[in-house]
Every structure is written in structure tokens, then in C-alpha cells.
């Protein structure tokens, strides 16, 4: 019942009905009044213009038949009943002398306008109210400065009424046609619109069912075309997300399968009872390494999915980044020694405070230092700098390693990206970037192959207490 088609049809119908109603109820009465006024004015005009021949006839004393003829001719030209009235000398009354109409005689009441013309000594007009009233104009005729006759022009208001009734009927007929047209057009327009909405809906249903090849009809320039374009954009993003998700799952399961197969293989070998102790220990060490790798992978995957789902809770607070850098770098003393590297911490001031979760900034810093040690040749030196500039707190990890090739720079933050493919699972930087973005900070990389690599973490400055 409340479909667009029905509502549009009802709306078109109501608007048209309203317009017809206004014309019928408001315009026609006005038209009626102005038609009556016009008729009255035209009678007055005829009275002034056409009375001349009658005056000539009565003055020259022509026979009555000639007078009657003159009156009849004037009546015909004026399109009205014409009555020549004689003014009784002295007594200010009038009485019909010659009448163009042979029908009903003029009543006394019908002579009021003529009497007024007599009193005024000028053209007088009048109209009786009602549908069957008379519309009259009277012209006094002067002979030697005295009014001797009055010519009375009379029209029936019924003539005007007939015209108005005709117009009313025509308005009703035209209104009826307009209403029918409005209904038909609105149904047609609504059908076109609903068909277009339906086709958008069908595509949306296919997309919802996972068919990303379905295309929205985006060629129209109007609002529905605009809607289709927005939906098309949304669908493209959904398709991208969907393929990213599939890629992520495929890579993650592949990453998990490799160490599991490897552990399975070693366990099978370990079942061999004739194995010497040295080989057994070596196999067990490899199994432990693979299990450690699996453990780290599982933790990283959980971290990343928690970050992406927004379920990982952060506790931002004012924290001293310089102090944090010193604490975290001190954890790497054994790793630095093994890598034959030196690490220098440079602080740009006594207390550099950022608004962040210290636990998570520590995690990011560990990921960066770990990379600077894992992906560089031994003996590579590291510099960790904490500073403050342009309203941001900056923490940079710089190594003088072999650097990252320009074409790989844009991809290092993508999950599972690794350049060597063997050392790690490629989740470290993806986690680091998600974490910084959650803390309203940013993580960027700058590298010159063969010279250095610098990862810079920017965090918002802590608000003053």
C-alpha cells in the first residue's frame, strides 16, 4: 500500500485535484463577477453610443412603426432588450413607450435604473443580485436641455450564468482528464523508478551473497545513479577486503603449516632408535626452534587480528620516551653482543613525554631493534634517538646496514612481507604500524640502500598536567 508507486500516484492525484479545486471554487466565482461587471460596462457603453438614432427618430416625430424599427435595430446591435421610456412632464416618473421585446412588460421595479438616470441626468447602471437578475444601463435623452426620454438597455444575468456554467463544466471535464493523466503518468514514472531501484537491489543481493562480479548500474546522472556509484565504490572496497582476507588466511595457514610439517618430519626421524645422541640433540634443537617459531607466529597473529578487530585495549598515559628507550635497549645487550654491534641512545632533552601506552611503544621499539639486528650483517651499529619537534615526539631507530630497496619500501608494513622469506613471518612491522596508528601516531621508514635504514615513530606530545 505504501509503495513508491502508490504514494507517487496519490501525490500526483492530490496535487492535480487541488489545482482543479482551486480553479473551480476560487477562480470561477471571480470570473462570474467580472463577467457581470463587464456586461454592465458594455451595456453602459452601448447606451451611450447607440441612443443617438433613437433620439433623432423621436425628435423628428417619425411614425411609431419607424420608431419601433429604430429601437429594434439598436436592440439588435447592442444584443440587449431596449426600451424607450417617456418621462412624464413634471412628475418624475417614466413609463415604457416602445419596447424591442414583445414579451413580458417591464415591471415598476425594473425601471429603477431608468429613474436613477433621470435623477442623475447621466448614464446609470445597475445589476440585480442572483442568477435570474437583470443587468441594466439607462441613458437619458435631452431635448432643449430637458430630459424627455430615457433609453433603457436590459440584459439577463442568466446569459452570464450560462457562460459561467459552461466554463465550469469545461473545467470539470479538463480536470477529470488531468486527474486521469496524472494517475497514468505517476504510475509510469513510479514504475521506471521502482524498476531502477529493483535492479540496484538485485545487484546488492548478489554482492551480499558474495558475488563481487555483479555491477551496479552507474551510468545515470541523477540521485539513483549517485546511489549506485556509492554502492559500486563500497562493493569495490568489499571486494578488496575480501581478497585481502583470503590472502591473509592463505598466507597464515601456509606459515603455520611449514613449521608443523617440519616438526612432524623431525619427530618421525626421532622415532629411529638407532640414532646417535648427537643427531638426536640436534633434531630436538630444531624441533624446539620450530615450536618457538610457531609460538611467536600464533602470538603475532592473535595480536594482529586483535588490533584489526579493535579488541586490543590500549592504556594511553604520559610517559617518558627517553627513559623507555633506555629500558628497552638495555634488554638487547646479549643480542647486540651476539651480533657484534653497538647501540647508542641519543636523547634530545631531559624529559621527552608522549601520550601513549608505554607497554605498546616498548613492543614497537623491540620490533624495530630486532629487525635492525636480524636483517643486517653482523657488526652493524644502531642509533636510537628520542626527540621532540613540531609538536610531536619522535623515536627513531637507525642502522647502518645494507638498507631496503626502493621498490620494497612501500611493502615492508604489509602483513607477511619478508625480503628473505626464511627468517621471520613478516608480521613485525604490520603489528608495529597498527599499534602506532591506534595510539594516534605514525610509523615511517626511510632507507638508502648500502648506507642506512631509519624507522621513525611519531607520537602525540603529552598534554601538560
Contacts to ligand ATP by CB under 6 A: 300, 367, 371-372, 374-376, 399, 401, 404, 412, 417-420, 423-430, 453
Closest among 304, 299, 311, 313 to 244, alpha carbons compared: 304
259 binds, among Mg ion, ligand ATP, none (CB under 5 to 8 A by kind): none
State in angstroms the smallest separation of the CB of 341 from ligand ATP.
Answer: 12
* Pick 127 or 384: Cβ nearer ligand ATP: 384
Using CB under 5 A, which residues numbered 369 to 398 contact Mg ion?
371
CA angle (320 as vertex; 366, 426 as ends), nearest 5: 20
453 binds, among ligand ATP, Mg ion, none (CB under 5 to 8 A by kind): ligand ATP
243 binds, among Mg ion, ligand ATP, none (CB under 5 to 8 A by kind): none
84: its cell numbers: 424607450
Please state, in angstroms and as integers, the Cα–Cα distance from residue 304 to each residue in 241, 357, 396, 438, following that order. 16, 17, 23, 12
Crossing angle of helices 28-50 and 64-78, rounded to 10°: 150
Q: Which runs of consecutive H residues, i.e. helices, occur in 316-427? A: 321-331, 333-338, 358-374, 406-409
423 binds, among ligand ATP, Mg ion, none (CB under 5 to 8 A by kind): ligand ATP
What gap in Å lies between CA 365 and CA 342, rounded to an integer?
16
Output b/e per residue, 147-181; b: 16+ Cβ within 10 A. bebbbbbbbbbeebbeebeebeeebeeebeebbee
* Pick 320 or 434: Cβ nearer Mg ion: 434
Please state, in angstroms and as integers, the Cα–Cα distance from residue 342 to each residue in 322, 327, 372, 393, following that order. 18, 16, 12, 24
* Pick 54 or 429: Cβ nearer ligand ATP: 429
* Contact partners, residue 380, CB within 8 Å, separation at least 6: 339, 341, 372, 373, 399, 400, 401
* Pick 53 or 377: Cβ nearer ligand ATP: 377
State in angstroms the smallest separation of the CB of 355 from ligand ATP.
Answer: 25
DSSP element (H, E) containing 345:
strand 343-347
312 binds, among ligand ATP, Mg ion, none (CB under 5 to 8 A by kind): none
* Pick 5 or 296: Cβ nearer Mg ion: 296
- Residues 394 and 321: beta-carbon distance below 8 Å: no
372 binds, among ligand ATP, Mg ion, none (CB under 5 to 8 A by kind): ligand ATP
State in angstroms the smallest separation of the CB of 431 from ligand ATP.
Answer: 8
Residue in the shown chain whose Cβ atom is closest to Mg ion: 428
What gap in Å lies between CA 234 and CA 308, rounded to an integer?
19
State in angstroms the smallest separation of the CB of 249 from ligand ATP.
Answer: 17
- Piece of the chain touching Mg ion by CB under 5 A; list 60-68, 280-288, 364-372, 384-392: 364-372
Residue in the shown chain whose Cβ atom is closest to ligand ATP: 424
* Pick 341 or 371: Cβ nearer ligand ATP: 371
Relative to beta strand 382-389, strand 343-347 is parallel
State which of residues 428, 431, 432, 454 lies at the interface with Mg ion (CB under 5 A).
428
Between 396 and 425, how does the x/- string for binding to Mg ion read (CB under 5 A)?
Answer: ----------------------------x-
* Pick 202 or 419: Cβ nearer Mg ion: 419
Relative to beta strand 392-399, strand 442-448 is unpaired
DSSP SS3 for 341: coil
What gap in Å lies between CA 347 and CA 321, rounded to an integer?
9
Using CB under 5 A, which residues numbered 187 to 246 contact Mg ion?
none
* Pick 428 or 441: Cβ nearer Mg ion: 428
* Pick 326 or 418: Cβ nearer ligand ATP: 418
Count interface residues toward Mg ion (CB under 5 A). Answer: 3
State in angstroms the smallest separation of the CB of 281 from Mg ion.
Answer: 28
Site residues (vs Mg ion, CB under 5 A):
371, 424, 428
Amino acid at each position: 500500500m505504501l509503495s513508491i508507486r502508490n504514494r507517487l500516484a496519490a501525490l500526483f492525484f492530490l496535487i492535480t485535484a487541488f489545482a482543479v479545486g482551486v480553479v473551480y471554487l476560487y477562480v470561477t466565482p471571480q470570473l462570474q463577477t467580472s463577467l457581470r461587471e463587464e456586461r454592465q460596462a458594455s451595456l453602459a457603453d452601448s447606451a451611450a453610443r447607440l441612443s443617438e438614432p433613437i433620439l433623432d427618430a423621436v425628435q423628428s416625430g417619425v411614425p411609431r412603426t419607424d420608431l419601433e424599427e429604430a429601437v429594434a435595430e439598436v436592440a439588435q446591435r447592442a444584443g440587449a432588450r431596449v426600451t424607450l421610456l417617456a418621462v412624464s412632464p413634471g412628475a418624475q416618473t417614466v413609463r415604457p413607450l416602445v419596447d424591442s421585446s414583445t414579451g413580458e412588460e417591464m415591471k415598476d421595479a425594473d425601471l429603477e435604473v431608468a429613474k436613477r438616470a433621470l435623477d442623475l441626468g447621466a448614464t446609470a447602471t445597475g445589476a440585480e443580485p442572483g442568477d435570474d437578475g437583470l443587468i441594466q444601463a439607462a441613458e437619458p435623452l435631452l431635448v432643449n436641455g430637458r430630459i424627455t426620454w430615457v433609453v433603457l438597455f436590459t440584459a439577463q444575468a442568466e446569459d452570464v450564468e450560462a457562460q459561467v456554467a459552461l466554463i465550469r463544466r469545461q473545467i470539470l471535464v479538463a480536470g477529470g482528464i488531468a486527474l486521469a493523466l496524472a494517475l497514468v503518468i505517476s504510475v509510469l514514472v513510479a514504475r521506471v523508478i521502482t524498476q531502477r531501484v529493483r535492479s540496484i537491489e538485485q545487484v546488492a543481493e548478489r554482492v551480499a551473497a558474495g558475488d563481487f562480479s555483479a555491477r551496479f548500474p552507474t551510468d545515470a546522472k541523477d540521485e539513483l545513479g549517485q546511489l549506485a556509484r556509492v554502492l559500486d565504490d563500497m562493493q569495490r572496497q568489499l571486494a578488496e577486503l575480501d581478497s585481502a582476507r583470503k590472502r591473509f588466511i592463505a598466507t597464515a595457514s601456509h606459515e603455520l603449516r611449514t613449521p608443523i610439517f617440519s616438526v612432524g618430519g623431525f619427530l618421525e626421524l626421532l622415532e629411529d632408535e638407532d640414532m646417535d645422541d648427537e643427531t638426536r640433540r640436534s633434531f630436538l634443537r630444531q624441533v624446539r626452534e620450530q615450536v618457538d617459531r610457531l609460538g611467536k607466529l600464533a602470538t603475532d597473529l592473535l595480536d594482529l587480528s586483535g588490533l584489526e578487530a579493535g579488541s586490543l585495549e590500549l592504556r594511553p598515559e604520559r610517559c617518558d620516551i627517553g627513559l623507555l628507550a633506555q629500558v628497552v635497549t638495555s634488554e638487547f645487550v646479549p643480542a647486540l653482543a651476539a651480533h657484534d654491534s653497538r647501540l647508542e641512545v641519543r636523547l634530545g632533552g631531559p624529559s621527552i613525554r608522549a601520550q601513549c601506552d608505554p607497554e605498546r611503544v616498548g613492543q614497537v621499539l623491540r620490533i624495530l631493534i630486532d629487525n635492525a639486528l636480524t636483517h643486517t650483517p653482523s657488526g652493524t651499529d644502531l642509533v636510537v634517538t628520542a626527540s621532540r619537534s613540531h609538536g610531536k615526539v619522535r623515536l627513531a631507530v637507525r642502522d647502518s646496514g645494507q638498507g631496503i630497496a626502493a621498490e620494497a619500501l612501500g611493502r615492508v608494513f604489509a602483513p607477511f612481507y619478508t625480503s628473505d622469506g626464511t627468517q621471520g613471518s613478516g608480521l613485525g612491522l604490520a603489528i608495529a604500524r597498527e599499534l602506532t596508528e591506534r595510539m594516534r601516531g605514525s610509523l615511517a621508514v626511510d632507507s638508502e640502500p648500502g648506507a642506512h635504514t631509519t624507522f621513525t615513530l611519531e607520537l602525540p606530545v603529552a598534554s601538560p598536567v
